[in-house]
Structure 1
Amino acid sequence: MKRFHYSFILLSLIGILFSSCYKDKGNYDLRPMDQLSTKGPEFNQDNFVFSQLDSLKINPEVTFTGDSTHLEFSWKLIPQQARVGDTTIKKISSLKNLLYVVRVPIGLYTVLLEVKDVKTDIIRSRTYGLNVKAKASQGFLVLNDKEGGVQDIDVILDNTKPEVFWGAFSANNTISLREATGMSMIQSAANPSGLLYIFRKSGGYTLLPSFGFLQDVKAWFFDAQSTYAPTLIYQDFFGANNYMINNGSVHTTTLITPPLLFGYRASGDYKATKSLIMSANVFVYDDLHHRFLKFNKSAGKMQSIIKNPADAFDVEDIGNKSCLLFDHNMASTVSPGAANFNSLKPLAYCKDNQTGKTFVYKFGFYKSLASYCESVKEVTAPGFSMATAYVNASNNPLTYYASENKIYAYDFTNDVARVVYTFDQTNVSIDQLMTNGTQFFAVVNSKSGNSGAVFFFKIDPTGSFNGGTYFSKYEKFGKIREVKYKYNTLNPAIPWK
């Protein structure tokens, strides 16, 4: 009897429970959740192929049944080899439509879009492939100081157009560039892609053609150096002759495959400063003993230049002088040979450290093509001894020099100088001059601030500048340390435009 009573009570409770649930039907919001989805092309590493500095635009297909103001967008750029948490992963936008100027090293990337419904925390994503190509395959490399004590390499892509690739070094490296003093772009038939060598006060870097870091200065030498202070690297067109001056010492290598590895110091008691390199012939000015020397590559040592009866000055001792310029009056790509020895005249300008007077030393070639000391005479051109930059013309018997805010053309045969251009600004320093025979550029830095500019001129047959003025000008650089031209790796023989 009791068992029946308990069963009846249990059934009654279950009935009440179901009845309550039935009566509550409709008291809850069962509206379907807002639908969020993205559409687009299937991932492919070449979904987008862009050069550095180009603008990447992506307008994604996003479908959402709710209020679009509740959506959050996040675009990230992920290098191919990156892992979760890497600092190389960058958030590049929080807008729906992406507009991004590509300022990253060349390589393969994934562009990740994440769309979040903030009400439900539901996230939908889509990925796109990005292949970043090098932008500055050819152009004028401008090494200059930036704010905060760092430096960068900006590239004037074409000196007839306004576009500049700002930050070629910083865009392709995670390290900061500091204390750089100069650079050399080395390209040859053995290495048409080329390598860029950066000289620093106490070190240096080798960069790939894309400006990415390759190696440190210690990798340049077969043996460890007591001081790393490189000032020059040279390689001829065929790659057979390679030279370096490091801390006043000459090094060479016979290897033609990059990157170059230089051997032991050329023996001798000397300190090489200015040098004249013509393929297999290397002449240097020894600032230690104030003399000119010749490097004997096969012997691996510095040797005296052969004296000849016709010598006009003592090549072993020119007095207490500093060398301002050691070059020749033909294009730097011209190598000496029997056909051009009469016209190829190595020139050295040296300044007396006591009197301040400057002299031009001209070398010629004696019997059996041996060098001899052809002539020496004082330079009386205005401001020459105090000039801030010098360069020899490559198709005229002229030396251009910069004094105050003027550029002069000096005729060393007749000891006559003329002004070829005067800058409007007076508070400037003209710190570099360069010419390829048809064009000419000048680096002009402000004396009172961290700013520099590059001016380009066209040269007429007399050595003057066409129209008496420049044809293009590039500003907004920091103080410029040096400008070098980088050839297109696909066509290294093309000169400046």
Structure 2
Amino acid sequence: MKKVLYVLLGIFFAACYDDKGSYDYHDVNETTIEGINGSYNVTMGVTTLKIDPKVTMTMADPEDTTRFQYEWRANVAYNSTVLLGTTRTLDYPVKLDPRSYTLYFRVIDRQTDLVAVATASLNVGAPYSRGILLIGENREGEADVQMLAMSTDTVLCRDLLADSGLPVLRDPVDVIHTGYNSNDKCIKLWVLTKSQAYSMDRKTFKGNETDVFSKLLYLSQSYDSDFVPVDIIPRIKDNLGNVASTYNRAVVCNNGYIFVGSSVLMGGDYYIDPVNREESNPNVWLKAKPYLLYSLKKYNGGIVWYDETNERFMRVKSSYDSFSKTMNDVEGDPFDWDQRKTGRTMVYGENTFNTDGGSTNGNSFALLKDGSGEFYIYKFYVSSSVAKRDAYTISSSLAIDFDKADFYAFSSRRTVVFYAVGSRLYAYDYNKGNEKCYLLEDFGEDQITMLKCDTQIEPSANPVYVATYNNANGGTLRKYIQDMNPDKVEVTPVSNSCWTGLTKIKKMSWRAAN
């Protein structure tokens, strides 16, 4: 039974000096309210709050709407009140801003001015605060963002860009939440496309055409091109939304420019001149491949990147640097940083939680290809210093259609690189002397549109996510667990982790809070 507070309205009590002792007594219509919980947790734009309280009265019919008026209100003390409904039952699609409220249910007796009140705690969460962010294309070829919002249940939030306030976008690249940060100015929610990057409102997913990356730049000179990010690091490294550094950040843009920044130095998420240049030749800009390589667990501002202009790996030691440096090669090393003698070029890069060689905070992998179509894997550790760990040659006779792959993903737990060719998912074990290739699954008419080894939601398990698409049914996202049998590579689908009716997924990322 809900405790009820009675309030008498519109009565002025005056003292009476001439008390004759004559009183009229009337029975009070006692009201009882049941069926309202002590608290409710809802999500803005997702949840419909439905409450069907039982109202009983000792002297009247609660369904008499000519006498009784009902009100549901959400109150913020000393601030505001919002009317949610005027019927006994509440059926309210939640549009309240995310915060805590007191929910009031009032039964007003127009005849006596008595009001019965029941209250509850109402906690409104942001719809996009926790879950898997997905960016891709809808059936019209427009950029589309969806989210598998996860609280007590998993709810698919659709068409997040449709009502965002941004124009129709195309060529989606990524959607990134930058994770927890002690400085709120540094917490960003980015939608990246080929032509522009937009910083979105973290609670409402609203955007503005003026909230773009270039507004964060304080440049000492003018440049001929715009700066549109394709990757922003460090990425979230665990289910709670933590990152490898709360005050260091780096950005690589689609024109090959790299920015590094420190919130300690800049007072927020701001950047000065690019660092993709050498101190000895500061006016010559080197084009970077779109991969920033660093340690996922601990990021001190140092990165390794690939100089496409000169076919070599370069290093930025910290977020306070203004230039990039070359790295020395030593005879007997598993590979060279300078690739000009080998005729190889980088085609893909990925950061993992792999700890081979004592790399506590996670090795990085680079996939290279030479002029004859042969592929090579370089494994190295980016920390306070950079250490080469190993190199592997992909056997073209074993790795079926490796040169035709649309996507690659490196396992953190095994010597395995997964790759996708059309509708087929493969795994190649590059363990020296035991190289093997496996066709894991053929999705038939469904083309693979994304492949990812998770390092954010369950980094220790490192599950594999595969997105597919067909015109009839739309997109599907599947989760697989990696089997640890050293003699064979297998993945097992997770039965309750297959989501259908999605967009044509290009990228996925995790978000844990606002």
Shorter-chain TM-score tier: 0.5 to 0.7
Task: Say yes or no: does 1:310 pair with 2:332.
Answer: yes
Task: Say yes or no: does 1:382 pair with 2:403.
Answer: no
The structural deviation recorded for 1:454 is: 0.9
The alpha-carbon distance between structure 1 residues 137 and 249, as it changes in their structure 2 partners (threshold 3 A), is same
> Among the aligned pairs, what percent are the same residue?
15
| Contiguous gaps of at least 5 residues in structure 1 | 1-38, 81-88, 114-127, 490-497
CA distance in 1, matches of 2:156, 2:76: 21
Task: Say yes or no: does 1:486 pair with 2:511.
Answer: yes
2:8 aligned partner: none
2:274 aligned partner: 265
Q: Are the counterparts in 2 of residues 55 and 101 from structure 1 also a CA contact under 8 Å?
A: yes
CA distance in 1, matches of 2:193, 2:98: 25
1:406 aligned partner: 424
> TM-score, normalised to structure 1's length?
0.67
The alpha-carbon distance between structure 1 residues 213 and 375, as it changes in their structure 2 partners (threshold 3 A), is same
Greater share of helix residues, 1 or 2?
1
Q: Are the counterparts in 2 of residues 308 and 372 from structure 1 also a CA contact under 8 Å?
A: no
The structural deviation recorded for 1:106 is: 3.0
> TM-score, normalised to structure 2's length?
0.65
Q: Are the counterparts in 1 of residues 408 and 451 from structure 2 also a CA contact under 8 Å?
A: yes
Task: Say yes or no: does 1:301 pair with 2:323.
Answer: yes
Show the 5 A alignment for 1:31-430. Answer: 50-52=42-44, 53-57=46-50, 97-102=89-94, 106=98, 132-146=124-138, 149=142, 151-157=144-150, 163-167=154-158, 169=160, 173-175=164-166, 178-179=169-170, 180-188=172-180, 190=182, 194-213=187-206, 215-223=211-219, 226-235=225-234, 237-247=244-254, 248-256=256-264, 260-268=269-277, 269-273=285-289, 274-278=291-295, 279-280=299-300, 281-297=302-318, 298-311=320-333, 312-313=335-336, 315-317=338-340, 321-327=344-350, 330-331=352-353, 340-341=358-359, 346-352=364-370, 354-355=371-372, 357-363=373-379, 371=387, 375=391, 377-380=393-396, 381-414=399-432, 416-419=435-438, 421-430=440-449
Question: CA offsets, 1:380-431, max 9 Å, x none?
Answer: 2112121122121112222222223332222223372332631443441242
The structural deviation recorded for 1:189 is: 5.5
SS of aligned partner of 1:265: coil
Q: Are the counterparts in 2 of residues 105 and 173 from structure 1 also a CA contact under 8 Å?
A: no
CA distance in 1, matches of 2:201, 2:314: 34
| Contiguous gaps of at least 5 residues in structure 2 | 1-30, 106-118, 235-242, 278-284
Which one has a bigger Cα radius of gyration? 1
Alignment equivalent of 2:466, drawn from 435, 439, 443: 443
The structural deviation recorded for 1:109 is: 9.7
1:25 aligned partner: none
Specify the code of the residue in structure 2 equivalent to 1:409.
A
Question: CA offsets, 1:351-391, max 9 Å, x none?
Answer: 34x54x1321425589x965459546344211212112212
The alpha-carbon distance between structure 1 residues 331 and 260, as it changes in their structure 2 partners (threshold 3 A), is same
CA distance in 2, matches of 1:107, 1:173: 21
Q: Are the counterparts in 1 of residues 476 and 498 from structure 2 also a CA contact under 8 Å?
A: yes
Q: Are the counterparts in 2 of residues 293 and 305 from structure 1 also a CA contact under 8 Å?
A: yes
CA distance in 2, matches of 1:382, 1:271: 32
Q: Are the counterparts in 2 of residues 342 and 364 from structure 1 also a CA contact under 8 Å?
A: no
The structural deviation recorded for 1:476 is: 0.8
CA distance in 1, matches of 2:165, 2:85: 21
SS of aligned partner of 1:218: helix
Specify the code of the residue in structure 2 equivalent to 1:234.
I
Q: Are the counterparts in 1 of residues 128 and 147 from structure 2 also a CA contact under 8 Å?
A: no
Q: Are the counterparts in 2 of residues 392 and 399 from structure 1 also a CA contact under 8 Å?
A: yes
CA RMSD of aligned residues (A): 5.1
Specify the code of the residue in structure 2 equivalent to 1:384.
F
CA distance in 2, matches of 1:306, 1:467: 39
The structural deviation recorded for 1:294 is: 1.6
Question: CA offsets, 1:14-51, max 9 Å, x none?
Answer: xxxxxxxxxxxxxxxxxxxxxxxxx999xxxx997632
Specify the code of the residue in structure 2 equivalent to 1:387.
A
SS of aligned partner of 1:227: coil
Q: Are the counterparts in 2 of residues 206 and 213 from structure 1 also a CA contact under 8 Å?
A: no
